[in-house]
Amino acid sequence: MAVSNTCPPPGFDARLQLTELLRQALTSVAPNHGDVEIILERPKQASHGDFASNLAMQLARALKTNPRQIAEQLVRELPASACIAKTEIAGAGFINFTLTAAARTAVVASVLNAGADFGRGNAGLKLQVEFVSANPTGPLHVGHGRGAAYGASLASLLAFAGHRVAREYYVNDAGRQMDILAVSTWLRYLELHQVSVPFPPNGYQGDYVRDMAAQINLAQGDRYVHPAGAVLSCVPGTEDTDDTENLEARLDGLIVAGKDLLGEGWAYIHGHVLNEQLTDGRADLEEFGVHFDAWFSERSLYDTGMVARAVAELEKKGHLYVQDGAKWFRSTAFGDEKDRVVQRDNGIYTYFASDIAYHLNKFERGFDKVIDVWGADHHGYIPRVKGALTALGADASRLDVTLVQFVSLFRDGQKASMSTRSGEYVTLRQLRAEVGNDACRFFYMLRKCDQALDFDLDLAKSQSNDNPVYYVQYAHARICSVLSQLDADALPSLTALALTDLAPLTHEREHALCARLAEFPELIQNAARDYAPHSLAFYLKDLAADFHGWYNAERVLVDDEATRHARLALALATRQVLQNCLSILGVSQPVSM
RNA sequence: GCGCUCGUAGCUCAAUGGAUAGAGUACUGGCCUCCGAAGCCAGGGGUUGUGGGUUCGAUCCCCGCCGAGCGCACCA
């Protein structure tokens, strides 16, 4: 017989308790199946109680018995517990548990005691999350913004779940794209000096390139000026702009010209534009609340000989062969659809080679898991990277690649076009200025990352109840507002509230809100396991809804002191969980709005 | 053609293999002498693209088909 007025001990966990009870019942009913996993879920429907177990259904086949019959046996063998008000068998054989009021409201004390640590796990793995890693060839755009928001939230989530998380940005400072940016800037610089070299259509077109040219002009004057004839002397092909191959060859010719004519000056321009773009991107991300522990340079992999070492290692293990003068990695032996070049016939390593080295380096740093957040357009790249790791004798399952799908911006119902090269795209900075950091971070989290995102600018901007981020923040501000109604001496201390008698919390909505709070630690576990920070955004909407519903149904500041204190405790606990959850997503918690 | 990610209410999206598939939005009607109405309450809305299979049970797992996006470089 359940005793409903018994107070559960501090740190009481109903799920753990019920799991233990079922485990004991199981050993009595089916001693040979003691290893069956005990699953407890929170039913969607309130009439199904606080927790439901499908244990009887799981056993039906093995015991060759009707699930409902097994359920009855299990319930009969269930040890008595002070936290259970009712046990019911329902549906196909579910066992539904209804908790006592005291067991339901106990979470309030747990939240107030744990504070900012409520929900924190103790997972303890050493993880790395690498994200954004955009080429520093121009401003970050809204697609990078999604990767940034997702990666940052994921990293915070994993850290909150108890992992040790390193956040890293891989800087592609060694490739052809950087050369193209440097040559684009140089050509704009030459334009300032009336040297007429036609600007290539496949160069970087954005205004920021002209800005950097002006900076170089200011600092260095005309020392990098060369006549148009000299610049064009090593540019092959015709001016046919329809032939892509021809255009790329001409661009490469311009790069060669720049390196030859400028010598040290090329290194200066290259270094300047790299530093400029990196600094800009870093500032942009910092303002967005996205921080990195490390900025890993691709070039450093060459400088330290890591790339050569990785390729030599593959060669030693017999996974390379030479064809048409190039060195190929036999990735088809590891599930890839074709073999891949790691070193070109001119001796230059491919990007893939440095990426093998990079991932080898990551693995050598001793992470239990390496998580790469990539744009969805890179998905075809996964088999070859994993293949290379396997070929090197590493455990490729330690690498998880999460793909983030594309973002389309909609303004006035119209899709905004995006093209990096042409410079016609909305930057992350523009987006943040227009809709604000909080709405950005939250909107990016309103989709699973493997779902294409249509970002509705007008909705994100609207200061109305259409906007979910305001709905959640409003709940927080409302609680703060209630507390500010009290004189400082009328508000009991946190420790006092944590000890307050919660028996006055009898309303259905109060219990629903408590159940939502109790869900938070489980949410963290599941979301961290699934790399799914979006579920935190959905939880916040539910939590805010439960709070608003309660708030409209009952007053917090009532005359009766016992009731008032219990409700204050619940309001404070709600605010705490809102804070914990919003912090993980990098969204602020305004006191008023 | 091959591969990856998807297809859920009019629209935008959720749903560790569980019970009557949920929110928001839009539409309709209510709630401020009352702690913040950026709020709440009540309505109608569905063959989960489609056809099979596995399972006590499938939006979820497997196969086929239809449709969408993205890939299929000695670019990064």
Nearest nucleotide by C1' from A466 CA?
A: B25
Handedness of CA A569, A570, A575, A577 (dihedral sign): positive
Nearest nucleotide by C1' from A485 CA?
A: B35
Nearest nucleotide by C1' from A484 CA?
A: B35
Q: What is the 3-state secondary structure (H, E, C) of A45-107?
A: CHHHCCEEECHHHHHHHHHCCCHHHHHHHHHHHCCCCCCEEEEEEECCCEEEEEECHHHHHHH
**Closest residue to B12 by CA to C1' distance?**
A454
Q: How far is the CA of A337 from the C1' of B2 (A)?
A: 9
**Closest residue to B18 by CA to C1' distance?**
A54
CATH ID of A14-99, from 3.40.225.10, 3.30.1360.70, 3.40.50.620, 2.60.40.10: 3.30.1360.70
Q: How far is the CA of A152 from the C1' of B12 (A)?
A: 24
Q: What are the beta bridge partners of residue A454?
A: A408
**Closest residue to B5 by CA to C1' distance?**
A450
Nearest nucleotide by C1' from A473 CA?
A: B38
Report the pLDDT value the prediction gives residue A99, as an integer from 0 to 100: 93
Nearest nucleotide by C1' from A509 CA?
A: B40
Nearest nucleotide by C1' from A338 CA?
A: B72
Report the pLDDT value the prediction gives residue A420, as an integer from 0 to 100: 57
Report the pLDDT value the prediction gives residue A517, as an integer from 0 to 100: 96
Q: How far is the CA of A44 from the C1' of B22 (A)?
A: 9
Distance CA A437, CA A287 (A): 8
pLDDT averaged per 10 residues, chain A (length 593):
53 85 90 83 85 89 84 92 91 90 95 96 95 94 93 97 97 92 96 93 91 96 94 78 76 92 95 96 97 96 96 96 94 91 93 96 96 92 94 94 88 69 77 91 91 82 76 96 86 88 94 95 94 95 96 94 95 97 97 92
Q: How far is the CA of A245 from the C1' of B74 (A)?
A: 14
Report the pLDDT value the prediction gives residue A64, as an integer from 0 to 100: 81
CA A294 vs. chain centroid, Å, equals 17
Nearest nucleotide by C1' from A244 CA?
A: B75
Q: How far is the CA of A92 from the C1' of B57 (A)?
A: 9
Report the pLDDT value the prediction gives residue A242, as an integer from 0 to 100: 64
Q: How far is the CA of A542 from the C1' of B52 (A)?
A: 38
The domain segmentation of chain A, as residue ranges, is 14-99, 118-123+465-585, 176-278
pTM value > 0.90: yes
Q: Which CATH superfamily includes the segment(s) A118-123+465-585?
A: Isoleucyl-tRNA Synthetase; Domain 1 (1.10.730.10)
The CA-CA-CA angle for residues A585, A588, A593, to 5°, reads 140
Identify the DSSP state of A507: S
Nearest nucleotide by C1' from A469 CA?
A: B38
Whether the CB-CB separation of A551 and A557 falls below 8 Å is answered with no
Nearest nucleotide by C1' from A375 CA?
A: B70
Report the pLDDT value the prediction gives residue A1, as an integer from 0 to 100: 35
Q: How far is the CA of A555 from the C1' of B32 (A)?
A: 14
Whether the CB-CB separation of A502 and A106 falls below 8 Å is answered with yes
- A351-364 helix and A306-316 helix, angle to the nearest 10 degrees: 90
Q: How far is the CA of A390 from the C1' of B58 (A)?
A: 35
**Reported ipTM:** 0.95
Nearest nucleotide by C1' from A349 CA?
A: B74
**Closest residue to B2 by CA to C1' distance?**
A337
**Closest residue to B19 by CA to C1' distance?**
A91
**Closest residue to B3 by CA to C1' distance?**
A380
Report the pLDDT value the prediction gives residue A149, as an integer from 0 to 100: 96
**Closest residue to B70 by CA to C1' distance?**
A377
Q: How far is the CA of A451 from the C1' of B50 (A)?
A: 22
Q: How far is the CA of A338 from the C1' of B72 (A)?
A: 10
Q: How far is the CA of A289 from the C1' of B61 (A)?
A: 39
Q: Which residue, A443, A409, A432, A405, is CA-closest to A153?
A: A443
CA distances from A435 to A144, A313, A430, A441 (A): 16, 50, 9, 10
**Closest residue to B35 by CA to C1' distance?**
A482
Report the pLDDT value the prediction gives residue A160, as an integer from 0 to 100: 97
- Give strand B nucleotides closer than 7 A to any protein Cβ: 2-6, 12-16, 18-26, 34-36, 38-41, 55-57, 69-76
